[in-house]
Amino acid sequence: MTFVLEVLISALIVLGGIFALVGSVGLVKLPDLLTRLHGPTKATTLGVGGALAGSMLFFFGIEGTLSIHEVLISVFLFLTAPISAHFIAKAHLHEHVALRADLPPTGREHGWSTFDGVPESSDGEQAEHAPRG
């Protein structure tokens, strides 16, 4: 039984390692910042997730204690990864104003919030739900 568990734990850790490696390969291979953002926001979540699942299984199956810290780590990762990616993308757009020409239209009368200010509250409802960041 312990042997099966050990194989399972090792498999999870190796799998996590592979995904983390692929995320890093993406950083080297992909041409610009915006495509590079895809690597770390995805491949790394499963990379870390695999290692954390392995850790939980180790403590539960072999040490016999329930360890919940790993769940917290993945929750925090899921909360922070999209926000940092969003801000990196916005900062990139600020830095490279030429990119503005490539952006698709918003389909609204106002532009993207990185370039256009929040509209004056002509009708209250719009301003209320306008982005706050």
Partner 1 sequence: MADKAEIDKRSFLQRWLPHPLLTVVLIALWMLLLNSFSAGGLVMGALLGVVIPIITSNFWPERPPVKAYGKAVSYMALVAWDVVVANIEVARLILFRPVDQLNVRWVTVPLELRSPEAITVLAGTITMTPGTVSCDLSADGRSLLVHCLDAPDAEEAVRQMKERYESRLKEIFP
Short-list 100, 106, 132, 108, CA closest to 118: 132
Instruction: Give the residue with the Cβ less far from partner 1, 10 or 106.
Output: 106
Q: Which of 29, 60, 62, 96 binds partner 1 (CB under 8 A)?
A: 29
Cα–Cα distance between 105 and 63 in angstroms, integer? 56
Minimum distance from residue 84 beta carbon to partner 1 (Å) = 10
Minimum distance from residue 23 beta carbon to partner 1 (Å) = 8
The single residue listed with the structure tokens 């490279």 is 96
CB 92 within 8 A of CB 33: yes
Site for partner 1 in 81-100 (CB under 8 A): 81-83, 85-86, 89-90, 93
Q: Quote the DSSP letter at residue 31.
A: S
Site for partner 1 in 65-84 (CB under 8 A): 67-69, 71-72, 78-79, 81-83
Cα–Cα distance between 123 and 63 in angstroms, integer? 61
Q: For residue 122, give Cα distances in angstroms to 78, 112, 119.
A: 36, 18, 8
Q: Which of 11, 38, 63, 124 binds partner 1 (CB under 8 A)?
A: 38
- Binding residues for partner 1, rule: CB under 8 A, are 19, 22-23, 25-26, 29-31, 34-35, 37-39, 41-43, 45-46, 67-69, 71-72, 78-79, 81-83, 85-86, 89-90, 93, 102-114, 116-119, 126, 129-132
